[in-house]
Amino acid sequence: MYQCPKCHGTMRTYDRHGVHIEQCDNCRGVFLDYGELESLTQMEARWSQPVPPPAPMPPAPPAGYGHSTPAWGAPQHGGHHDYGHHGGHHGGHHSFARMLFSS
Amino acid sequence: MLDFSAMDHALRSSSRTAGLLPEAGRALLPAADRGATPVVLADRPDGTVLRLGGSVLKAHAPGTDRRALELRLRAAAGPQPVLLAPHRAEDTGRMLLEVDGMLVTAWPAGEPVDPQAPQRAPWEQAGALAARLHATPALPGLPPMGGPAKVAAALRRLSDLARATGGVPGADRVRVAAATLPPWARGVAPAPERGRGGLVHGDLHLGQLVRLPSAAADDPYAGWRLIDVDDLGVGDPAWDLARPAAWYAAGLLPLEPWQAFLGAYRAAGGRALPQDAGADPWTVLDVPARALVVQLAALGLVRAAREGRPPDEVEQLMVAACARIGGAGQDGR
C-alpha cells in the first residue's frame, strides 16, 4: 500500500469507472498516475452531457446523482424499489425499522 | 395537580431514572405541562425520555460531560432553524438541570417519523436540514461530534460480548471491516481538521426528526426539525450522510429515498459533497459509510446475542457488507 506524500496516511486504491485512484484515508488527498487525469476529464465530459432526469424530484439534483455505489456495495442494487423487500416477512419489518430509527 | 395513580401505572415497569425524571425536570417545563401524566418514550441506558403534555423531558446518559452538553444546548438554542431548541426554565432561563447526578433537559414535543412507513419519511427535508446545519457556524469550544466515538463503543460492546461468550459468529467479519478504517473513524485518534467549520449532528437517522405542530405554514422544512444534541459538534459533515449511505450501500434502502436525500442535500448547498456535480459523492462518503456499517453490524450482532437468536435478515445484511468491505480495496495494484 502507498503512503500519502502529504500527511503519511494510508492510501487506498479505488476503482472509479475503470480508473484506478489512490486516495488517502486520512486527508482524502488523491494521487493519479500518468494519463488518469485525462481519462477522468473525458469521463466528466461524458457525464455532463444532458441526460433525461430519472424521476420527478422536488429540488432537482444533477441527473443521476447518487446512482453510484462503493466497491463494497450490495450486489442486488438496481432492480428493486420497494421497502417491503426486507420488511414483509418473519418480523423483519421490526428489525428494518430499528435499523433506520435508532442510534 | 399531578395524577399520581396514572403516573404510577405509566412508570411501574420503568427504571428509577424514569420515575425520578418528572419531578427532577419540573422547573424546565412550561406551566401547562407540569401536571401532565408522563408517558415513557424511551428508557435505555443511553437516555430516558418521557412525554408530558406538549413537552418531553430527557435524562441524559450517566457519564455525560456536563460542560460539553451545555455547549451543545447553546448551539441548539442559537439562531438557526434546523435544531429543535430546548425549553428554558421560566424563572432562571437555564436549559439544563442536574439532579442527583442526572442531567435533565426539556424540549417541545414533536411528531416523529412513522416507523411503519419509512417510504413516507421526509427524506428531502432531512437532506435540506443537514445541509443547513452544516452551514451553521459552530461556537468556539464546541466539542468534536460524537460519531466516531459511537463506532468505538459499538466495537467495544462486540468484543466484550465475544470475550464473555467465547466467540460471536460474524464478529470476525466486523473486526476485519473495522480494520480498514482510518483510526479517527474508529474513534481511536483525533479527527483531521479538514471539513471543520460548521455544526455536525453526529448521529443522524430517522429517529432524529420530529415535526412541530406549531410550525408556520411557510416553514422551509415543513415543520421538521433535528433532535438529540448529545453527539452534536465539529467534524466531518459527511458523517451525517453516512448512515443513509450505509443503508443504501448495504442493500437496505432503495435507490429513490437515497437519491431524494442526497439530491436535496446537494441542492441545498450541502458542503460535505464535492462542489463539482459530476464528482462521485462516494469519495467523501466511503470512509464514514464504512464506519457506520461497522457500527450497525456490531450492534446488530450484540442485539441478536442478547435476545438469544441468530442475526435476522437485516442484521445479516450489515455483516455481509462488512465481509465485502474487508475484501475490497485490499488488493492494491
ipTM metric: 0.80
User: Contact B249/B321 with Cβ under 8 angstroms?
Assistant: yes
Backbone angles phi, psi at A12, to 5 degrees: -110, 150
pTM for the full predicted model: 0.80
Residue A57 to residue B260, Cβ atoms within 8 A: yes
Check whether A49 has a pLDDT greater than 70: no
pLDDT, residue A30, reads 79
Residue A90 to residue B258, Cβ atoms within 8 A: no
Tell me if the domain spanning B4-109 has CATH number 3.30.200.
yes
Short-list A81, A47, A69, CA closest to B253: A81
Q: Which residues contact B7 (CB under 8 A, 6 or more apart)?
A: B22, B37, B38
Collapsing DSSP states into helix, strand and coil, what is residue B287?
helix
Check whether A56 has a pLDDT greater than 70: no
Check whether A60 has a pLDDT greater than 80: no
Residue A25 to residue B289, Cβ atoms within 8 A: no
Residue B313 to residue A95, Cβ atoms within 8 A: yes
Domains of chain A: 1-47 (3.10.20.860)
Write the CA distances from B263 to A13, A67, A90, B267, integer angstroms.
27, 11, 33, 6
pLDDT, residue A47, reads 52
Residues in chain B closer than 8 A to A103 (CB atoms): 46, 150, 203, 205, 207, 228
* Architecture of the domain defined by B118-327: Alpha-Beta Complex (3.90)
Q: How far is A35 from chain B (nearest CA, A)?
A: 16
Of the partner residues A27, A73, A92, the one whose CB lies closest to the CB of residue B312 = A92
3-state DSSP percent of chain B in helix, strand and coil, to 5? 45, 15, 40
Q: How many CB atoms lie within 10 A of CB A30?
A: 17
Residue A101 to residue B205, Cβ atoms within 8 A: yes
pLDDT, residue B145, reads 96
Which chain B residue has its CA at the smallest distance from A14's CA? B329
Which chain A residue has its CA at the smallest distance from B209's CA? A101
Residue A59 to residue B264, Cβ atoms within 8 A: yes
For the packed helices B147-165 and B282-306, what is the interaxial angle rounded to 10 degrees? 40
Residues in chain A closer than 8 A to B277 (CB atoms): 61-62, 65
Q: Where are the domains of chain B?
A: 4-109, 118-327
Residues in chain B closer than 8 A to A54 (CB atoms): 259
Residue A72 to residue B290, Cβ atoms within 8 A: yes
pLDDT, residue A22, reads 79
Taking the Cβ of residue B205 and every Cβ of chain A, the question of whether any pair is shorter than 8 Å is answered with: yes
Cell of B312: 435476522
Residue B205 to residue A93, Cβ atoms within 8 A: no
pLDDT, residue A93, reads 72
Residue A90 to residue B313, Cβ atoms within 8 A: yes
Give the amino acid at B44: R
Collapsing DSSP states into helix, strand and coil, what is residue B5?
helix
Residue B247 to residue A100, Cβ atoms within 8 A: yes
Q: How far is B208 from chain A (nearest CA, A)?
A: 8
Q: Which residues contact A82 (CB under 8 A, 6 or more apart)?
A: B254
Which chain B residue has its CA at the smallest distance from A42's CA? B278
pLDDT, residue B124, reads 96
Q: How far is B163 from chain A (nearest CA, A)?
A: 24
Residue A21: pLDDT band (50, 70, 90) is confident
A80 φ/ψ sector (left φ>0, alpha ψ -120 to 50, else beta): beta
User: What is the block-wise mean pLDDT of chain B (333 residues), using blocks of 10 residues?
Assistant: 47 75 95 95 90 97 96 95 96 95 96 89 97 94 95 97 94 97 96 81 96 92 97 96 97 94 96 89 96 98 95 95 82 34
Q: How far is A96 from chain B (nearest CA, A)?
A: 6
Q: How far is B154 from chain A (nearest CA, A)?
A: 10
Cell of B144: 468534536
Of the partner residues A58, A91, A102, the one whose CB lies closest to the CB of residue B207 = A102
Taking the Cβ of residue B133 and every Cβ of chain A, the question of whether any pair is shorter than 8 Å is answered with: no
Any idea what the Cα angle at residue B21 is, between residues B18 and B22, rounded to 5°?
115
Check whether A80 has a pLDDT greater than 60: no
